[in-house]
Amino acid sequence: MTSLFALLYLGLGAGLALAQENRYISDTQYIPLRSGAGNEYRIVHRGLPSGTRLTVHEESADGEWARITTAGGDEGWLRAQYLMTQEPAESRLRRVQARAEQLEAQNRELGEQVTALQSERSELSTQVSDTGSNLTQVTEELAHLKQISGKAVQLDADNRRLAEESESLRAEVDTLEAENQRLQDKLQSSAFIDGALAVLLGVIITLVVPRLWPKRRRSSGWA
């Protein structure tokens, strides 16, 4: 019997369609995959789940069976009535739900990122405000330092000028002190000489002047 079915299969091979197209397992739960186009052939796969994408290579002459391969590499025959040109609604629903869950997770992640960015933005705004305040303070301090620096330069120039004037005055004072000392010495010498001359003059007067006057004769009381 098996040989007969094999011969029939080989005889019908020329009548099989050659076009390949993608189809899907219908909403039926599991479809067995057989080694040939008939229920008498052995099952090579216990059941392909609903929504499985298949590549149809050919169909039997009566159109009831189709030879397919799966993305996983399984190959065999199954009833064409379980194939659909579009993905089953349940499979699409599962895919849409999975996509929705994925988008929801991404939305939550984006929400967390937005919250973190808002927090970072607030922190940066605070830092910018603080930096602006610090910049204003530093600018004021710099202006003050420049003012002080300008005064310091002027003070340094004044100090140098006063130092030079002080040195000049000190030299002049030294000169005046030396001249004063010389004059004092001269005055002391002149006073000494004048004193000596006065003493000498007194001695001369004492000794000489009496000699310049004639002596008076004494009158006699007997005359």
pLDDT tens digit at each of 223 positions of the chain = 444 444 444 444 434 444 567 777 666 568 889 999 999 999 998 888 888 888 999 999 999 999 999 988 999 999 998 888 887 777 777 888 889 999 999 999 999 999 999 988 988 888 888 888 888 888 888 888 888 877 777 878 888 888 888 888 888 888 888 888 888 887 777 777 777 778 777 777 787 767 666 665 555 454 4
* Count of CA atoms in the C-beta half-sphere (13 A) of 82: 23
| Residue-level pLDDT at 79 | 92
Distances (CA, A) of 61 to 4, 39, 64, 65, 176: 17, 15, 8, 8, 145
Please state the pTM of the whole predicted model.
0.37
- What's the number of CA atoms in the CB half-sphere (13 Å) around residue 15? 11
Q: How far apart are CA 52 and CA 24, in angstroms?
A: 5
Nearest to 76 by CA among 48, 105, 106: 48
At which residue do the structure tokens 């602006």 appear? 132
**On the CB side of 45, how many CA atoms lie within 13 Å of its CA?**
17
**Residue 65, C-beta contacts closer than 8 angstroms, at least 6 positions apart:** 37, 38, 59, 77, 78, 79, 80
pLDDT in the model for residue 42: 95
If one counts every other C-beta atom within 10 angstroms of the C-beta of residue 35, the result is 14
The CA angle 117-137-121, to the nearest 5 degrees, is 5
Per-residue model confidence (pLDDT) at position 213: 62
